[in-house]
């Protein structure tokens, strides 16, 4: 079905351009969201609040892009009445944009937790335990944006596997934090901040997988939400 979702080749050249513009905007939005996560992880790694304000500034840009792209999708539905692959592209894009915006929100939550820890002069040694999780989530986000850019359903399946590892890593982080809290009640507030940040990172992984599911729907015409990973892999992997 790949040829169906190729952007371009419509009788109306203007329609081609409109679709291409939307795709380019989604990727631009993806780049901004990646920068948000990157800056949040930088704050975490360097014990520095320096870039946290950028995460918030970027969030306003991301929110505006979400609404703009959504409005463009609605305009295309109204004006062009797309069918088949074009229609799926618009639907999948509109959904993915929402997930991207949520990823930005979660990155902002991570940044807020780091700022909170820095304000409290807390030893954020335990934040360091998130760095590996954060890097893996960053890789997954990058891979997901590539999956969307190339409309590649096979890489979407690989990303799902990555997310399974992220979920396991997240569980280990939580166990470690609970033990830390039990050992010394002075650690409780700080460890909770770290736990919320870990949760946000794990949620970013989930949103990436939503985007991957949208790409699979787009390319294969199949709705794989609520389908076990093994079954998806069997059919597409």
Give the SS3 label for residue 222: coil
Least distance in Å: CB of 9 to a copy of itself?
19
Tally of CB atoms within 10 A around 24: 12
Choice from 40, 160, 181, 208 touching a copy of itself (CB under 8 A): 181
Least distance from a copy of itself to the Cβ atom of residue 135, Å:
25
Which of 24-27's residues contact partners 24+ apart within 8 Å by CB, and which partners?
Answer: 25/65, 25/68, 25/69, 25/72, 26/69, 26/93, 26/96, 26/97, 26/100, 26/148, 27/145, 27/148, 27/149
Judged by CB under 8 A, the chain residues 30 through 89 that form the site for a copy of itself are 63-64, 66-67, 70-71, 74, 77-78, 81, 83-84, 87-88
Q: Is 116 among the residues that bind a copy of itself (CB under 8 A)?
A: no
95 touching a copy of itself, by CB under 8 A? yes
Q: Which is nearer to a copy of itself, 138 or 163 (CB)?
A: 163
Choose between 24 and 192: whose C-beta lies nearer to a copy of itself: 192
Which of 225, 231, 233, 234: binder of a copy of itself (CB under 8 A)? 225
Q: What's the burial of 142, exposed, middle or buried (CB within 10 Å: 0-12/13-18/19+)?
A: middle
The residue count for the chain: 237
- The answer to the question of residue 146 lying near a copy of itself (CB under 8 A) is no
Distance, in Å, from the CA atom of 131 to the CA atom of 108, rounded to the nearest integer, reads 16
167 is an interface residue for a copy of itself by CB under 8 A:
no
Structure tokens at 132: 């590996």
Tell me, by CB under 8 A, how many residues bind a copy of itself: 28
Verify binding: residue 228, a copy of itself, rule CB under 8 A: no
Q: From CA 77, how far away is CA 147, in angstroms rounded?
A: 24
Select 71 or 135, whichever has its Cβ closest to a copy of itself: 71
Residues that bind a copy of itself (CB under 8 A): 63-64, 66-67, 70-71, 74, 77-78, 81, 83-84, 87-88, 91, 94-95, 98, 178, 181-182, 185, 188-189, 192, 223, 225-226
């Amino acid at each position: 079905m790949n040829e169906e979702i190729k952007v371009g080749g419509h009788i109306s050249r203007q329609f081609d351009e409109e679709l291409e513009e939307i795709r380019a905007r989604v990727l631009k939005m993806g780049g901004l969201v990646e920068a948000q996560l990157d800056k949040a992880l930088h704050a975490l790694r360097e014990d520095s609040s320096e870039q946290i304000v950028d995460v918030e500034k970027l969030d306003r840009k991301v929110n505006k892009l979400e609404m703009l792209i959504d409005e463009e999708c609605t305009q295309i539905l109204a004006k062009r009445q797309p069918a088949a692959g074009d229609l799926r592209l618009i639907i999948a894009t509109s959904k993915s944009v929402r997930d991207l915006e949520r990823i930005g929100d979660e990155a902002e939550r991570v940044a807020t937790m780091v700022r909170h820890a820095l304000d409290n002069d807390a030893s954020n040694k335990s934040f360091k335990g998130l760095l590996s999780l954060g890097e893996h989530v960053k890789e997954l986000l990058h891979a997901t944006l590539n999956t969307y850019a190339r409309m590649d359903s096979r890489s979407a399946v690989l990303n799902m596997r990555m997310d399974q590892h992220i979920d396991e890593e997240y569980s280990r982080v939580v166990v470690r934090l609970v033990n830390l809290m039990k050992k010394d009640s002075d650690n409780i507030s700080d460890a909770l901040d770290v736990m919320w940040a870990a949760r946000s990172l794990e949620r970013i992984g989930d949103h990436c997988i939503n985007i991957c599911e949208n790409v699979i729907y787009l390319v294969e015409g199949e709705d794989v939400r609520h389908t076990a990973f093994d079954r998806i892999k069997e059919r597409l992997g």
